[in-house]
Structure 1
């Protein structure tokens, strides 16, 4: 009897286990969703950065924690120089990542080929997304034709003017004001340009690497008309910019200014990006460059007061038009672009600027920059940084990248010849404009 009772109990337990197992396996299982993120390693700005993956890993961890059942993966080890080719291969295979970084060299083509998902609908229908919190200049970089938003800016980098404070102090010149003009710039360059060792040759200079484009950005106009979507290298703004460059170059009396001259502390001004500022203002890279003199950054001089404008670039991230997880991709894109910690990590682990104005202006961002700087060094103010970005200029969107770069290259060649052969600027630029029209009509 006892054995029968034990046998029945075992059979009953087995039956219960079987039924429980059947119930468990018959229930709808939680579906795991997967996103792929396309990215490259290193910096987008041509400086050292070993922490690119740290930012993304931290963002993924936060995103997966707030989205149970979702995993985000990426392919590591792709260098920036190989990234376009990697993307092209994935496109041909029909396996483009759901969310991916878009290089400025590829962006216009991705827009025209329908590779990037239009984001306007997401932006307009998502109450959590507040576009006004992002620098408008940076948002414009992610737009294609007809104001369609194809990508969002992830980090932004303005170009600023490097100032050798030691050299200015040595010559009894004060640091220029933020609203200074071409006349102020020319006067300072005139004062510092001289022969310091008495050998009859100029060996101290005003500028290195300052170009007619830098002057054009601050001229009050441009060769590129965004409203009419055309180009005119013969307009008054370009002419005045080239004339100004000619005046600056004449100060050097034929001497060729080099990077070595600047590194040696013999040049007062040089354009550089904020990424370079971050890199060479902090350790360990501080000891490699510009360590033998004090330096800082300021705005570019304007043709008149208030025209202190410079070039602004951004690293863009977009969504694959053919992604099967577009809603989830949009949520991840928002984490990268709008997440407070993700954007603060731009200051912690990269050399760019957060695209969120509130983060860029914050004391927390300033303290992060200060951490690796000498205590006596003054951090660039958030107000100045934001002002430069807000009023910056961007590459026109109505030409393919290669076309735009070719036009600039042709203009550089023409303007160099004007200087070398002392050609008439107005007539030469009119002739050049006709050549540009022929080039564009090919």
Structure 2
């Protein structure tokens, strides 16, 4: 069951409830407003969610998967009703959850806002799931892609389960490569292969003196760093590694790629017109572009395929994995029931299968993601000449993926990094000393 709800925006200061204020409330023993089940009444389990897509792409019916899961859960648990508030936008959800925590009325099970797992865990707002996992003989963490599962782990304690993930694939304009007589990259391709192909295809094809065919669009310094074996931050988010020699190698490589375009800024429109050979694309964007009406004839004039990202000399085909997590309130009076409902969302194959049908993310259960049925579903989404996505490739990418950092100051640290690295790539700052300076400044930020 869902309840309609709306909240207004408040100043940022009003959202500090997930820090010291919450800890004080917990220490004072604020009582949760538990509802005692009366004879003949249904037992109510509350669920917290936001409307729309976690991946900031169009989502036609964000409630369908949840409603279907609730229906199955309630059928398996007579006398239990699951309720949630609808209409809470993603950008308002963190504030809404904070207010519920302050009131002692947070949902029994809820989606965890990006970057707030550590704060929710350290403030003891969410339950440590280790004991539930250990005694549940019908649950196996091995069923998950390990990077997705580990995203909910802090210092060997599992505080959340993954619901859906998104990773990045390299999309390839097969028609352009075939025209140039270039073979599709294989699974073991590397930076040198990528650079070589970009050089070969970047040219003036209509001979008017202006370059109008390009090697790539959207390949970032983060893509290069991850594929060169570098993690940008320590697992606990207290240290950065921007001064690492692998970062310097990654930036030199990105600069070499940029020089091929001779100052021209390649755009997504160039790729859509078939003028670009390669584009890293998040799976959520792929799912948004593919089905009508979002596709709007994109990719209709050329055939494409996807491969893993090229490997750096000190790394592999690693890319970033972003994951939506769910947790259980530490103050719930229905811990076992909340665990069973969270498993319905995050572990049950029916729910995970419906994610690929109704959402833009990827299931986090390996068996579901790599099933022949889902490969057929993706192929049915691909009319005409466009192309296909091999779920085995996605499985390999998920296995090798790097978890997106999940600590509170990560967004601020990345804004700082983007600004300074942009200056370095433009030649406005020294590469070696600039990266060391950046590392010192970010480490100072992380100690706040």
Work out which of the residue numbers 408, 417, 423 in structure 2 matches 1:417.
423
Q: Deviation digits for residues 204-251 of structure 1, max 9, x if unmatched?
A: 221222111100111022332438962121111111101100100111
Q: Note the residue ranges of structure 1 that are not aligned, 5 or more in a row.
A: 1-27
Give matches, 1:145-184, under 5 Å: 146-184=155-193
Q: Deviation digits for residues 255-292 of structure 1, max 9, x if unmatched?
A: 12222222222222222111111222233322253333
Q: Note the residue ranges of structure 2 that are not aligned, 5 or more in a row.
A: 1-37
The runs of at least 4 consecutive aligned structure 1 residues that moved more than 6 Å come to none
Work out which of the residue numbers 406, 413, 422 in structure 1 matches 2:412.
406
In the alignment, the residues of structure 2 paired with residue 74 and residue 222 of structure 1 have an alpha-carbon distance, to the nearest angstrom, of 37
In the alignment, the residues of structure 2 paired with residue 58 and residue 228 of structure 1 have an alpha-carbon distance, to the nearest angstrom, of 37
Q: How far did residue 31 of structure 1 move?
A: 5.0
The equivalent residue for 1:21 is none
In the alignment, the residues of structure 1 paired with residue 82 and residue 445 of structure 2 have an alpha-carbon distance, to the nearest angstrom, of 45
The equivalent residue for 2:108 is 98
In the alignment, the residues of structure 2 paired with residue 228 and residue 320 of structure 1 have an alpha-carbon distance, to the nearest angstrom, of 24
Work out which of the residue numbers 436, 439, 443 in structure 2 matches 1:437.
443
Give matches, 1:182-197, under 5 Å: 182-197=191-206
In the alignment, the residues of structure 2 paired with residue 268 and residue 334 of structure 1 have an alpha-carbon distance, to the nearest angstrom, of 42
The equivalent residue for 1:54 is 64
Work out which of the residue numbers 354, 372, 397 in structure 1 matches 2:363.
354
The equivalent residue for 1:226 is 235
The equivalent residue for 1:136 is 146
Give matches, 1:22-421, under 5 Å: 29-30=39-40, 32-144=42-154, 146-226=155-235, 230-304=239-313, 307-374=316-383, 378-397=387-406, 399-400=407-408, 403-421=409-427
In the alignment, the residues of structure 2 paired with residue 107 and residue 131 of structure 1 have an alpha-carbon distance, to the nearest angstrom, of 19
In the alignment, the residues of structure 2 paired with residue 205 and residue 377 of structure 1 have an alpha-carbon distance, to the nearest angstrom, of 20
Specify the SS of the correspondent of 2:170.
Answer: strand
In the alignment, the residues of structure 2 paired with residue 225 and residue 392 of structure 1 have an alpha-carbon distance, to the nearest angstrom, of 16
Structure number with higher helix proportion:
1
- After TM superposition, the score normalised by the length of structure 2 is 0.86
The equivalent residue for 2:32 is none
Q: How far did residue 423 of structure 1 move?
A: 4.6
Q: Is the 8 A contact 2:299 2:386 kept in 1?
A: no
- After TM superposition, the score normalised by the length of structure 1 is 0.87
